[in-house]
Chain A
Amino acid sequence: MTHLYNIINRATKIASVYKGILILLLVLITSCNKDLLNKTPLDRFSDDAVWKDASLVQTWINSTYRTMPQGHTSGAMMIASVSDESHYRTGRPDYIVGGNITSTTLGVLDFWTTGGEAGASYGYWKVITNCNIFFDKIDASRVEATLKSRMVGEMKFLRAYSYFKLVAFFGGVPLITKPFNLTDKLGVARNTYDECMNFVVAELAEAATLLPLEYSNTEKSKITKGAAMSARSRALLYMASPLNNPQNTIAKWQAAAAAAKAVIDLNKYSLFANYKDQFLQANSYNSESIWSRPFNYSVDPELTSGGVELTLYPNGYNGFAQSHPLQNLVDAYEMVSGKLPADDPTYNPQNPFVNRDPRFYASILYDGALFQGREVETFLKGGRDSNEGPVSANNATTTGYYYRKFINEAIVNPSATNQGNSPWIFIRYAEILLNYAEASFFLGDEATCRNYINQVRSRPKVTMPPVTESGAALLTRLQHERQIELAFEEHRYFDVRRWKIAPLTDNIPGRKMVIMKNVTTGVKTYTVSDFLPRAFAVKNYLVPIPQSEIDKNSLLVQNPGY
């Protein structure tokens, strides 16, 4: 009996243990809820959330603005360094100016797969994709109508401007206005130059009707009606230019003239008195600036590798001096007489930096220029800003010059965190005046042409003597004025191509200035010499399409000559 009792007792004990285990198992299994594997993202927004919310749509537009390639991201003045304006110290684009660009070595001109020198975070195709997604979604979104139409205007502008730049580099590109899906057929052929540019011009015109002339103080820096009209003026000028208008169709010049005049007639913009200071952060949104891209390192550390000051200051001022103006450009700055140094008997090659166009002093640091309390010293032996200087001699100039345009001279010992935040000005009023002057010239209205050139020359802090030439000489003066006024602002590369003068300007060597200082007498000897082989072939009017893209898409036809 006890035996049996013991067995029962043990069995119940065991059973109670089992009960515990079974309960545990039950808890376990029931806790395995069916939705265990169906997680939702906690760190990102869904498609629905984004497009029904005007604030989120706004952030999408913000990103699109930011993605637009511009000149200050690298601060290295790369487009200037593939033209006859400056030289990049490490020689990175030398093969491009040497005529050796190929479809696999677009280098800093690869604005197809990246944002060029600005890198992969930027790019025209990225902007276009963002815009296409926006247009795909915005109709169905619940954004209030007035705001929506302004947003549409901004995005139409950004997309059109991106196409304008792509076409300027590559010629006709695939004109894509809808976003792609994974399953879509991805091969698309190039549209023609005219198809693309007609689209650009029409979209810009439409954007102008949707955009305000002015924004509130909290939204300045956004695209205005004036910016859209101005971009249209540039687009129509490019279309009318000899490269793209071989028949010299007058209607194209008329359209270009009308577009520029329309901006002038807004009576909204005027030349800023101080040529140099218009590029500074303090003068953002000045009367001349039509569209600019602000930077503010302290709230948005975008230019983490340093702003223009760190990138362009001479080595002796702790700058990296990555790009250096060429003698070719320095020679193009007129004497105050209005004549080129070569044509002015008062010009002394052994004292070359006196009595030059004020824009020379505003744009270029030369040996002897007063900068931050001392003279710039590019002379040898031992100049503090030469490759024999005590500070980072490896960063010294290769041409004898440094940049002065864009920089904020109040910045001492620049670094990534100590920068002047100069905005990048995409379009300013002086260009519009010169656009109008150019179109007027080709329409035979030389008086108007001279009038508008001279407006630019008579800016208060410039006051160069008026241009009086006519005919071919006037055209030369016009082209020259654009070279000087808009130096380093990413115009020259395109201008010499559309004017078809690149075979002259880009087929001559790059020149530099070497200054030797006699240690005992202190007398400096100035010697100009060739140092950079430069060559231009007809194919170089356009940049080749990247081979990697042609490999992916049989429909893409390479540009001639590559």
Chain B
Amino acid sequence: MVDGSQGVSGWQRINSRDIESISVLKDASAAIYGARAANGVILITTKRGVTGKPIISYSANFGISQPTRLPELADAATLAQYINDLLVSQGQSKRYTDAEIQKFGDGSDPVNYPNYNWYNDVIKKSTGQSQHNLSIRGGTEAVKYSASGSYTNEGGIFKDGVTKFKTYAIRSNLDARVNKYLKVGLDLNNYFQNGDYARSNFSALRQVPFYPVYWPNGLPSAGIEGGQNPAIEATSAWGNDNNKVERIVIKVSFDLTIPWVKGLGVDGYFAYNKDETERKLWQTPFTVYNYDKANDKYIPVTGGGILLPQLTQSRADGRGTLYNLRLKYDKQFQDHHISTFIALEQSESFSSSFSAFRKNYLSQSIDELFAGSLIDQSTGGTSFESSRKNYFGRVSYGFRDKYLADFNFRYDGSSNFPKGNQWGFFPGASIAWRVSQEKFMKKNLAFITNLKLRASYGQIGNDAIAAFQNLRLYTLNALGYTTGIAQTATQGLAAGVSPNPNITWEVAKIKNIGLDASLWNGLLGFEVDVFNQTRSNILATRDLAVPAYTGLILPSENIGVVENKGIEVVVSHTQRFNNLSYKIAGNVAYAKSNVVNLSEPQNVPAWQKAQGHILQAELMYEAIGIFRTKEELAANPRWPGAKVGDLIYRDVNKNGVIDAADRVRTDKTNIPEVTFGLNLSMNYKNFSLWANVAGATGVWQYYLLDFRISTNNLAEVIRNRYTTGSMDSKYPLLPTVSTESEPSGLHSTFWMRNASYARLKTLELSYTLPDLLLTKLRLSSLRVYLNGNNLFTVDKLKWVDPENISQNGSFYPQSKIYNVGVNVGF
């Protein structure tokens, strides 16, 4: 929620300097925010004007980023040896002689037997980024204003790459008091982003070390095949994928106090947003070279997968309107405080898209549609609309700020469901007791500054599914059949889902009890939350239970129940001395889901049922060792075709062979069981230090690594692979993952790696200029800082960054960022 408006697109890119406050609602109190609040709500409030002289501030930030961790790939000698082993196991002859491998290793002939490191040669040591923000705030009792402009600029990580990303934002919040009873507001917000990208397929960097990015004479190499040199594909030689987004949000609001009834008021707003996305994908062919050693010749190859340039230009437009109207009543009767409202909200959104394509450009000099060939050009476009309507309200009651009770409800309608099933009623309630407000506490336990017990219950509906699943619809597409002498394309028609007329809201019931305490004025504080969320009527497809021959394309159906339980604890310690103050806060959260009921195939064995397991739990073979000898191989149940050096799996059903029935539902997923964090902030005189550590345990990542002859892979695994006769290798025969005939490549627990970590997310040191100096400089404030992100990580994984979720370990790496910045107030 940004300033009260829900689901504002691009909220992640609001400049932090424009933000007044951020708060997070995790318990059932989020329920009042409706359909999209089941996983909690983030409330962002942007800065507004304040009474007084204009305050002008400027802030600038300059940073450099580096990948946190790049995988270490095998060197030429190690890989050459592995390729030989692999070829021999496939019945082929070795490619390298021992003498050649020797030369790869000792570097005695770097021209003919090189050892290139592609990551080093393609990825920059560091990339720059900068941010600027200029703002002015001020106003009188009658009119207050806040306006700001921001600019950010980030570069890509590829050497000579085209990747760059810029954003521009203007935000203006205006508040006016018309008279004693009426306030109006006008917020304008304009955002523009412009990004250039190339084909930066990160996994393509796993090139073998036998050839370089550029040959010694400067010509680019051809890469593995098809002229796909990822370093060249990151440059403008490949073309440019330009993405522009422009977003306008206008919000008009009013707040009216009704004078005849004290405490009664009406407020509301109308918001309009417009999003425009433009994409221009310009692709050009380029020339790369293979080197023919025998004849000392460079053989050119056309890269880019095309012979002549081509352009795809597309745009998508989105428009949305939102009305919100609220009747509110807020009054204190001696010890009793009542606050209540009832509201109506209605939103509509409309989106449309358009795209055009031309190819066979005669020249590379103009990347506009007109310059492409008239033959085989194509266009496309479509529209979509959706709406929601909600009634919601709340009654809050407080007695002396001690006993608090709150009832709320929502009555939500969504166009994603058919008539008759559109509406859902979702009530909620919460109670709280501020024990510390009790007299006996104040008297006897005065060191308890604050103690609050709270409990809440709420229901939230979820309508986040594709619309019109109650209808049988057909999509007209370009996937027809080529016909005629001329072999022209025809259109095709694809059926949508089988209609589900009963489709309706998914419901999440959230229960939460908590305790907030603060002792000795914050010297020690803690918060404890225990929660239980049960999602029922889950909108999911029944594909696990529907045979292929039915040809049914399944709609979402309200099936299944999943429970999610957990506890969250925050402990904090605040201390203040003369010149020194600090706060340390630690938080730990444990959460675990449990499938209560899901549509499952009827005939699976007990150990494969999803019921009773984590929602994402997968079926895996349980690896229990590596076959070291022929005898061992013969004596154990094995996968058909298993060899010495392959993984041994547990024969769960004891039928003497390893087959799919031996897969076990495994509660190891990449959703962490435990997340934790530690915040430290410290002020000494004019210096401040802030540190944030975050981490997770009970988190596992599955890796599907393909050790092929065409690509490089993790050095550590290749070095410690099984080789003939090895009795203690760390890894089995390495799979190429291109065939089911590789027993060690089966989806097994062996390749499930512990991805637990703790990471210093932020460390910041800042200095604020003392007032004396400021006066001399005629400034109202000045703060300089140094900070860093992801500076330090502790983990067990080592292969790649632990915060990745890529099965092949190839992903655009997380960044370590060093920043220096200044905030000045004039």
The answer to whether A95 and B740 touch across the interface, beta carbons within 8 angstroms, is: yes
B348 contact set on A, CB distance < 8 A: 36
A65 to B479, CA, bound (A): 10
The answer to whether B601 and A394 touch across the interface, beta carbons within 8 angstroms, is: no
B residues 131-183 near A (Cβ < 8 Å) are 178-179, 181-182
Q: How far is the CB of A195 from chain B (nearest CB, A)?
A: 15
Q: How far is the CB of A479 from chain B (nearest CB, A)?
A: 28
With contacts A90-B739, A93-B739, A394-B708 taken as known, whether A550 is within 8 angstroms of B603 at the C-beta atoms is yes
The answer to whether B498 and A182 touch across the interface, beta carbons within 8 angstroms, is: yes
The answer to whether A417 and B551 touch across the interface, beta carbons within 8 angstroms, is: no
Q: What residue in chain B is nearest A382 (Cβ atoms)?
A: B294
B603 contact set on A, CB distance < 8 A: 550-552, 554
B221-229, B364-372, B448-456: which one contacts chain A? B221-229
A549 contact set on B, CB distance < 8 A: 547-549
> Which of A129, A296, A413 touches B302 (beta carbons < 8 Å)?
A413
Q: What residue in chain A is nearest B542 (Cβ atoms)?
A: A182
B92 contact set on A, CB distance < 8 A: 387, 398, 531
A123 contact set on B, CB distance < 8 A: 548
B549 contact set on A, CB distance < 8 A: 112, 125, 128, 173-174, 176, 188, 549
> Which of B179, B382, B472 touches A17 (beta carbons < 8 Å)?
B179
Interface centre among A123, A128, A129, A320 (most CB of B within 10 A): A129
Q: How far is the CB of A137 from chain B (nearest CB, A)?
A: 10
The answer to whether B383 and A98 touch across the interface, beta carbons within 8 angstroms, is: no
Count of A-B contacts judged by CB separation below 8 Å? 322
A133 contact set on B, CB distance < 8 A: 495
A176 contact set on B, CB distance < 8 A: 549-550
With contacts A41-B471, A44-B475, A391-B222 taken as known, whether A415 is within 8 angstroms of B483 at the C-beta atoms is no
A382 to B492, CA, bound (A): 49
B478 contact set on A, CB distance < 8 A: 300
> Which of A31, A62, A295, A550 touches B493 (beta carbons < 8 Å)?
A62
A382 to B97, CA, bound (A): 13
The 8 A CB mask of A529-553 against B (1 = contact, 0 = none) is 0111000000000000011111111
B484 contact set on A, CB distance < 8 A: 217-221
A102 contact set on B, CB distance < 8 A: 640, 659-660
Tell yes or no: A410 within 8 A of B by CB. no
A415 to B228, CA, bound (A): 11
A18 to B178, CA, bound (A): 12
Tell yes or no: B415 within 8 A of A by CB. yes
Tell yes or no: A43 within 8 A of B by CB. yes
The answer to whether B604 and A39 touch across the interface, beta carbons within 8 angstroms, is: no
The answer to whether A28 and B325 touch across the interface, beta carbons within 8 angstroms, is: yes
A13 to B477, CA, bound (A): 61
The answer to whether B551 and A126 touch across the interface, beta carbons within 8 angstroms, is: yes
A126 contact set on B, CB distance < 8 A: 551
Interface centre among A58, A126, A298, A551 (most CB of B within 10 A): A551
Tell yes or no: A451 within 8 A of B by CB. no
The 8 A CB mask of A383-395 against B (1 = contact, 0 = none) is 0100110111111
> Which of B496, B500, B661 touches A44 (beta carbons < 8 Å)?
B496
Q: Dominant SS at the A interface?
A: loop
Tell yes or no: B670 within 8 A of A by CB. no
The answer to whether A100 and B640 touch across the interface, beta carbons within 8 angstroms, is: yes
B residues 529-560 near A (Cβ < 8 Å) are 544-552, 554-555, 557
A300 contact set on B, CB distance < 8 A: 478-480, 482, 489
The answer to whether B305 and A416 touch across the interface, beta carbons within 8 angstroms, is: yes
Q: What residue in chain A is nearest B92 (Cβ atoms)?
A: A398
With contacts A219-B483, A221-B483 taken as known, whether A132 is within 8 angstroms of B551 at the C-beta atoms is yes
With contacts A47-B472, A94-B741, A182-B555 taken as known, whether A100 is within 8 angstroms of B487 at the C-beta atoms is no
Q: What residue in chain A is nearest B641 (Cβ atoms)?
A: A100
Tell yes or no: B59 within 8 A of A by CB. no
The 8 A CB mask of A378-408 against B (1 = contact, 0 = none) is 0010101001101111110010000000000
The 8 A CB mask of B272-312 against A (1 = contact, 0 = none) is 00000000000000000011111000010110011100000
B225 contact set on A, CB distance < 8 A: 315, 318, 320, 392, 394-395
A180 contact set on B, CB distance < 8 A: 498, 550-552
A228 to B807, CA, bound (A): 47
| 4 closest residue pairs by CB, A with B | A129-B551, A531-B91, A95-B741, A104-B660
Interface set of B (CB-CB < 8 Å, partner A): 87, 90-93, 95, 178-179, 181-182, 222, 224-227, 254, 256, 259, 266, 268, 290-294, 299, 301-302, 305-307, 323, 325, 344, 346, 348, 375-376, 382-389, 413-415, 419, 422, 467-468, 471-496, 498-500, 544-552, 554-555, 557, 601-604, 640-641, 659-661, 708-710, 736, 738-741
Could you write out 17 A-B pairs with CB less than 8 Å apart?
A17-B179, A32-B323, A41-B384, A42-B383, A43-B384, A56-B476, A91-B736, A92-B738, A94-B739, A125-B551, A221-B482, A221-B484, A300-B479, A531-B90, A531-B91, A551-B602, A552-B603
Further pairs besides A66-B480, A91-B738, A104-B660: 18, Cβ < 8 Å: A21-B182, A32-B344, A43-B382, A44-B474, A45-B475, A47-B474, A50-B474, A60-B492, A90-B708, A99-B640, A102-B640, A125-B551, A179-B551, A182-B500, A182-B557, A219-B484, A294-B487, A552-B547
